[in-house]
Amino acid sequence: MYNNSADLSEIVNLFDFEQMAATRMSRMAYEYVASGAADEISLRWNRTAFDNIKLNTSVLNDVSRLDTSFTLLGRPMPHPIMIAPTAFHRLMHPEAELATAKGAGMANTTYVVSSFTTTPLNQIAQAATSPLWFQLYVRDDRSFTKDLVQQAEALGYQALCITVDTPTPGIRDRQVRAGFALPEEVIAHYSLGEIGAPKNPITWRDIEWLQSFTKIPILLKGIMSTDDAAKAVQVGVSGIIVSNHGARNLDTVPATIEVLPRIASIVNKQIPILLDGGVRRGTDILKAIALGAQAVLLGKPICYGLACGGAEGVAKVIEILKDELHLAMLLTGQPRLVNLNRSLIWH
């Protein structure tokens, strides 16, 4: 499934990580991570939409001291780069989610652990030196779901990300052609035997049920419409994540960065907005923050970094983006992340 850690010294950017990972992961594992839904049109849009946004620079500003810090859910954050929930890390590296957690600590970032973790939550918590959140698929078995949430709470996971965009897994042709199946030694401890996302449509009533007992903040992951964003504010969740599930569910939905400005206008800073999908450059982060996000989450690049170098690979993915973000702030004349707004976007 994986080789020993590679020499990361020649890695320059996140695209290099993907190229290296393609040579080090099994074909099945690589296709699982890299693929999108159906014809992968949205997968391409997630990336090209960022490329098509132009930056508006400002000169002769004092950028001698850069500040990427901000506050999220009442907690200070040193930078706006987080690790998105992705499944089955043991497919990518023998240390699996433990390496991801260690890499997150090295890069001083928050790691959102997937429901389909191949490492128990308590072991990840023991290895972590930076904040952990937990991503949840709500199951029909409410006792199981409640116990899992309360276990995460007791272990110190600081927020709960509810995936709301997956009543059923999408059409994933590349994954099928690669013959995706979990090897015997890869155990997803909380999957109830499911390999893909559970076929379990949830409703706003399920969110209200979770709110009735959860002690940590709830964020809804998979918001792509203004109506859903408005409803999320109305029901009192703590935040939303603009996400099209890494373009892995429904093809031809818009890129997340295209949807973001409309949702930000509706939310109007009442609750935090995070974004994932297609982020590969420091300039992408700048654009996302300018258009209304508080932070971005990385999925596929983290998997590639993990496959190439374990904890060090994960940390290097984040560090590359942090460096690129700093340079982008310098070159656009923006010393403070929290001051970014749409004036940074060239029209």
In a domain, 6, yes or no: no
CA-to-CA distance for 253 and 241, rounded, in angstroms?
Answer: 16
Q: Mean of the per-residue pLDDT values for the chain? A: 96
Write out the residue range of the structural domain in which residue 302 sits. 14-56+66-344
Residue 9 lies in a domain: no
pLDDT for the residue 191: 84
Query: Looking at the whole model, is its pTM more than 0.85?
Result: yes
- Say how far apart CA 222 and CA 208 lie, in whole Å: 17
Q: Are 79 and 69 spatial neighbours (Cβ–Cβ below 8 Å)?
A: yes
Examine residue 186 and state whether it is found in any structural domain, yes or no: yes
- Looking up residue 45, the CATH number of its domain turns out to be 3.20.20.70
Q: Residue 192's pLDDT is what?
A: 77
Q: Is residue 109 part of a domain?
A: yes
Q: Is residue 108 part of a domain?
A: yes
Tell me, yes or no, whether 251 lies in a domain: yes
**233-285 pLDDT tens trace:** 999 999 999 999 999 999 999 999 999 999 999 999 999 999 999 999 999 99
Residues of the chain with pLDDT under 50: none
Q: Domain total for the chain?
A: 1
Q: Is residue 298 part of a domain?
A: yes
The pLDDT of residue 6 is: 78
Question: Which are the catalytic amino acids?
Answer: 245
In a domain, residue 205? The reply is yes
- Residue 39: what pLDDT? 98
Query: Using one digit for the tens of pLDDT, what is the confidence trace for 220-242?
Result: 999 999 999 999 999 999 999 99
Whether the Cβ atoms of residue 249 and residue 189 lie closer than 8 Å to each other: no
| Predicted pLDDT of residue 323 | 98
Contact 248, 42 (CB under 8 A): no
Q: Give the C-alpha distances (Å, rounded to integers) separating 78 from 89, 147, 252, 316.
A: 26, 32, 35, 16
